[in-house]
Amino acid sequence: MVLPHPERAWSEAGGIIPAACVCEADGRPWPLACGFAAALGLALVLLASPLRAQNSSPNPASSPAAAKESSSAAAKEETPPAGTSRVRVRVEVVDVPVTVLDKRGRPVIDLNKEDFEVFEDGVAQTIRYFSREVRQPLRIGLILDTSNSARRALQFEKDAASEFVFNMLQGRSSKNQIFLQTYDATSSIIQDFTNDPEMLNEKIRGLKAGGGKALYDAIYFACKEKMLNTGPPANTRRVLVLVSDGGDVQSQHTLEEALSMARKAETLIYTIGNAAYGFTNPGDKILELLAEGTGGAAFFPLATTPGTDFATGYFSQGQIGDTSQNKGLGAATGIYSATRLMQLADSLEAIGRELNEQYSIGYTPTNNKIDGTFRAIRVEARRKGLTIRAKPGYFAVSE
C-alpha cells in the first residue's frame, strides 16, 4: 500500500510503506533535501513580504480592480520562478519480513544484506533497507476447527494452543496481540485482540465442538473483518495460525477468494493439519496451498505414525491389525496421546520461532505505478541449502 505520510519508519511491516523521502532535484534524502527546500521557500517569502508591502495601495480592498490585481499578483507569486527545480517525493517502499531456515528447519540468523536478492515480477530490485530484527508487533489470529470432525482432536488442540498463547504473549506487557476464532458451519470471534494470555486461555478451555465446516469463509472473515482493521500494515505483522484438517463442505466463498483476501490483508497463513495418523487426507493439499499462497508454512505433526517397534508401546493401542487408528487418538493416557499433544505443541512452537527470528528487507520498486495490480515478490539467498519464506507479493494500491 502507498501511505502518504513521509515520516513513518520504513521498517514497519506491510506492503508499500513510506521511506525516507528523496528529492528528485538532486537525489538527496528527504531530511536534507526537503528541509533545504523548505528553508529556501521560507527565505523567499520573508524577502518578498517587504516588497509587497511597499507596492500595495493604502486600501487594496476599496477597489474591485485593485482586489483583482492583488489576486492576480498572488497567483503569479505562487508559480515557481523559471529555472528552479520542483521537489518531488518518492514514498513507495515495499517491506518484506523474511524467514530463513537451514536443512533441519532451524532459523538462520547470521545473514547480511549482501546475502539476499529480491525480485519483483522477475525484475531484480535494489535492497535499500535491511535489518536482522523485525520490530513490528504481531497481530495473530488463532483459528481452531470446532466442527464435528474435530471433536476427538479438540482437547489436544486446546492444550497446545494454550501453550502457544503464553509463548507468544509472554505476559500482559507484550506488544503482540492475539484474537481467538473458531469455525464450524459459521465463524465466531471468541475473543477479540488482546495481549492477556489468561483471558485467552480461559476462552480456549471453554471451547466445544459443533457441526458443519466452512473453512474458506473462516479465513475470508478473519482477514476482512479483523486483519484489515488493525490499522496500516506498516504498523504490524499479520498472521493467521489455523489448526484444521483442511476440509470444507459449505463455505460461501471459494479457496481463491479466501487466498485473495489474505493477500489483500497482507496476512501470512500458517496451517497445522490435525488429520489422524495413517490416513490419506485430501485436505492436506488445501492447507499447503493456503500456506504457500501467502508466504506462511504448513505443518503436519500427525502425518507419521509415532512408533514402529515393540519398544514404543504403540502396538497395544491399535496400530496393527486395526484400520481404525482413531482408537489410539482417543486414549486418555499413554505414550500415544502424550506424543500427539507434544507434536501439536512442537508445530506451534516452530511457528513462534519463525515469527520471532525474521529479517526485514525493504526496497523501492522499479515499477512505481499505483495501478492496483498484484506484484509478485521472490526472495533468494546466495548461500546454498537454505529455505526462504516471505510474502508472495502485494497489491499496488494506495491506502
SS (H, E, C) 109-131: CCCCHHHEEEEECCEEECEEEEE
One domain, residues 124 and 246: no
Residue 85 forms part of a structural domain:
no
One domain, residues 60 and 39: yes
One domain, residues 109 and 176: no
One domain, residues 317 and 379: no
The ranges of the chain with pLDDT < 50 are 1-64, 66-78, 84, 87-91, 307-334
Tally of domains within the chain:
3
Residue 11 forms part of a structural domain:
no
Q: How far apart are CA 108 and CA 106, in angstroms?
A: 6
**Burial classification of residue 369, based on how many CB atoms lie within 10 Å of its CB (0-12 exposed, 13-18 middle, 19 or more buried):** exposed
Please, which residues have CB within 8 angstroms of residue 218's CB and are 6 or more apart in sequence?
143, 181, 183, 187
One domain, residues 158 and 305: yes
Q: Cα 349–352–356 angle (5° rounding)?
A: 140
One domain, residues 61 and 96: no
Residue 51 forms part of a structural domain:
yes
Q: Domain with 295 in it: what CATH number?
A: 3.40.50.410
Residue 298 forms part of a structural domain:
yes
One domain, residues 243 and 292: yes
What does the pLDDT read at residue 275? 80
Residue 14 forms part of a structural domain:
no
Residue 345 forms part of a structural domain:
yes
Percent of the chain with pLDDT over 70: 66
One domain, residues 50 and 184: no
Task: Measure Cα distances from 27 to 171, 224, 230, 352 in Å.
Answer: 46, 39, 34, 41
One domain, residues 66 and 194: no
Averaged confidence pLDDT in the chain: 76
One domain, residues 47 and 95: no
One domain, residues 164 and 74: no
One domain, residues 152 and 253: yes
Residue 10 forms part of a structural domain:
no
Q: How far apart are CA 327 and CA 275, in angstroms?
A: 14
User: Is there a contact between 383 and 102 (Cβ–Cβ < 8 Å)?
Assistant: no
Up-side HSE of residue 29: CA atoms within 13 Å toward CB?
A: 6
What does the pLDDT read at residue 58? 47
For 133-193, the DSSP string reads S--SPEEEEEEEE-SGGGTTTHHHHHHHHHHHHHHHH-STT-S-EEEEEEESSSEEEEEEE
Comparing C-alpha atoms, which of 188, 286, 176 is closest to residue 238? 176
Residue ranges making up the domain that contains 67: 30-78
Task: Measure Cα distances from 66 to 58, 72, 175, 192 in Å.
Answer: 11, 10, 61, 63
- pTM score: 0.70
Residue 19 forms part of a structural domain:
no
What does the pLDDT read at residue 287? 96
pLDDT in tens, 172-231: 678 999 999 999 999 999 999 999 999 999 999 999 988 889 999 999 999 999 999 998
Comparing C-alpha atoms, which of 122, 123, 163, 117 is closest to residue 361? 117
